[in-house]
Amino acid sequence: MKFTKVLGIDIGGSGIKGAPVNTKEGTMLAPRYRVETPDPSMPEKVADVIKEVIDHFKWTGPVGCGFPAAIQHGIARTAANIDHSWINTDVNKLFSEATGLPVTVVNDADAAGLAEMKFGAGKGHKGTVLLLTIGTGIGTVLFTNGKLVPNLEMGHIEMKGSDAELLISDVTRKKEKLSWEEWAGRFNEYLQAMEKLIWPDLIILGGGASRKGEKFLEFLHVSAPVVAAHLFNDAGLTGAALAARYMHKIKKDQ
């Protein structure tokens, strides 16, 4: 029997949030539940929070989880905004054993991209789409003809001799008390660099800053149209739920 209801969880640098999702319609079935990300964000501590989110909803079905790292076959290969002890950890196995439920883990930005392409600003777009999540870091997601190129870590390209996300993340904007126009100037340079590398037909901006598009979109001047994500900060958990649904289907078909 097909299932459409999946618990989606989004692990961020500052918070972990989850909600049950109707993956057929892209809607949340209950208000999202949020817990502060443990500090330090060690694997066992984060696994405990995942279990807390699951217990909050009394959930017994499949779980999808967006995770801030490049995820290769369920294993974390990077750890930009989470404790470095995660590197080479089998996150799928850790979370599944901690919760007793089938957990599918994907890169958090990829999860947001899956949701925006199916239900949001990228729906029906057949060209090359670049989605950027702006938050604690910069997540980058690329789709071509609707197909995901996973684990694109281009938030870390060199920019002015530094890691780009250290200059253009929303955390940096707040920390340096930049005006929206000042921050947009920096971000525009980054987008221009992306255009030289990828030549997208559409750029979608997601993450926490996407809700403030009216404050900075007018200052961005690149060739491709730039639009705010439709699902805003809920794209991550919605896409994580979608990824779990897709993985369940693949396993059943094998």
CATH number of the domain bearing residue 190: 3.30.420.40
- Exposure of 254 by Cβ count < 10 A (0-12 exposed, 13-18 middle, 19+ buried)? exposed
pLDDT on residue 135: 85
**Do 28 and 91 fall within a single domain?**
yes
Strand order of the sheet with strand 147-149? 147-149, 138-144, 128-134, 202-206, 226-228
Q: What are the pLDDT digits (tens) for 55-72?
A: 999 999 999 999 999 999
Q: What are the pLDDT digits (tens) for 3-62?
A: 789 999 999 888 999 999 999 999 999 999 999 999 999 999 999 999 999 999 999 999
**Do 100 and 36 fall within a single domain?**
yes
Residue 86 CB neighbours (<10 A): 21
State the total domains in the chain. Answer: 2
Domain, as residue range, for 203: 121-229
**Do 87 and 127 fall within a single domain?**
no
Distance of CA 211 to the CA centre of its chain: 15
**Do 125 and 214 fall within a single domain?**
yes
**Do 225 and 125 fall within a single domain?**
yes
Q: State both tokens at 110.
A: 């990829």
Q: What is the pTM of this model?
A: 0.89
**Do 183 and 91 fall within a single domain?**
no
**Do 103 and 138 fall within a single domain?**
no
**Do 50 and 125 fall within a single domain?**
no
Answer yes or no: is 113 within a domain: no
Answer yes or no: is 114 within a domain: no
